[in-house]
Amino acid sequence: MWPNMIILLLLKLASSVTATTAVTESSSYCIFNGKTYLTEELLVDNCLNLICVGDTWYPTGYASSTCSMCSLRNDPHFTGFSGLTYDFHGILEYYIAMNIDTYGVTGDFYQCNALASCLDIITYKDGVDTMITFDKDDGNTILVNGDPFTVTNVVQNVESADGVVHPVLAWKQGLCIRVVGTRGIALSFCIHDMYVWAENAILGDLDGLCFGGRAFGAANPKRNFQKLPVSQQQINEWGESLLVSGNIIGPLETTTAVSIPGTCDAETEQDLLLQCLDLFSDMSFSQISLSHDLYQTAVGFCAVDLCLMTLSNATQTEIEAWKSTMVGMLENTMEVIAFTLPYR
């Protein structure tokens, strides 16, 4: 991420640009989706705001207030666009936030252990001519219509074979790959977790696993990120209804969500919650971030994972490895809280 002072300077410069400013021969400009943007002008219609500096796009690090966000983290825990949280451990490919088959995001999951499924391949479709896939095994390369494209810290238009340029911008943000397109949907893919931003104006046209609140008629919570008040069986049945048609089921695969064992007792749950708080305590975050509901939700997800691993008799080595992964996911979450979590 750009240093804060540079970001603020760029935003200050951008605020002085008006729609009537003319392009002169000496002006620099950027182009996106066939439209010209003057230097210092912002691209704000795709949730993750970018600024044109010279002839290059740079991420400001901030999201548009006209968007909502949903997220999922292994294994996998969801925070919905409505601010409700829930788990769904389906296997194969499901709609995440999709306008039928026209545009949006789908997720392919695999059974990563005896108790849960995990992110495998994510597909971002900007239209019939642009399909981008992200693979958990490669954090630097995406496939654009099946052709490999290397993503760097520089914001670039993605390209497919023979140099065909697509109206989607991609860049590395830390260990994550971020993209914005033309449909009002932005995505950050971080191997073990993912974040999807969508313009509020198009939410009614989308369906998928990040719409748990709407699926059950649950009202938006008064505070962010509260548990969806329905049974796990209901969530599983709803989730399976979002399976993408045409999935090829292998001999060891099913279309049924992974069966989750019982819960830990209250004393054990409290102990695991304290372990997670201690695990995350060494990370340097502001007090505002630490008090945020999304941070508290991440701590709760951590405790759930440790409970399930305890019930499944996971080894200490396995538990410690997963703790390290959860710390990495939390770093991504805290960056979202600090900069790209739209106001609800």
Residues 171 and 295 in one domain: no
CA distance 263 to 161: 50
The answer to whether residue 254 sits within a structural domain is: no
Token pair of 337 as six digits: 């809280």
* Residue 79, in any domain of the structure: yes
Q: Are residues 137 and 38 in the same domain?
A: no
SS3 318: helix
Q: Which residues contact 251 (CB under 8 A, 6 or more apart)?
A: none
Residue 247 lies in a domain: no
Domains: count for the chain: 3
Considering the domain architecture, whether residues 211 and 88 belong to the same structural domain is answered as: yes
Residues 225 and 96 in one domain: yes
In single-letter form, the type of residue at position 187 comes to L
pTM of the model: 0.84
Tokens 């919905």 belong to 80
User: pLDDT tier at 4 (50, 70, 90 boundaries)?
Assistant: very low
pLDDT, mean of residues 104-125: 91
Please check whether residue 301 is in contact with residue 75, taking contact to mean a CB–CB distance below 8 angstroms: no
Residues 167 and 231 in one domain: yes
- pLDDT given for residue 25 in this prediction: 38
Are residues 96 and 34 located together in one domain of the fold? no
Q: Is the pLDDT of residue 46 over 70?
A: yes
Same domain for 163 and 71: yes
pLDDT in tens, 193-218: 999 999 999 999 999 999 999 999 99
Length, in residues, of the chain: 344
Q: What is the pLDDT of residues 216-248, one digit of tens each?
A: 999 888 667 889 999 999 999 999 999 998 655
Report yes or no on 260 lying in a domain. no
Average pLDDT over residues 10-24: 36
Using alpha carbons, list the distances in angstroms from residue 194 to 9, 181, 230. 29, 16, 24
233 with 323, same domain? no
DSSP-derived pairing of the beta strands 138-144 and 130-135: antiparallel
Residue 305's pLDDT is 85
Q: Does 182 lie in the same domain as 127? A: yes
* Average confidence score pLDDT of the chain: 83
Domain of residue 39: give its range: 4-63
Q: Strand pairing partners for 159? A: 165
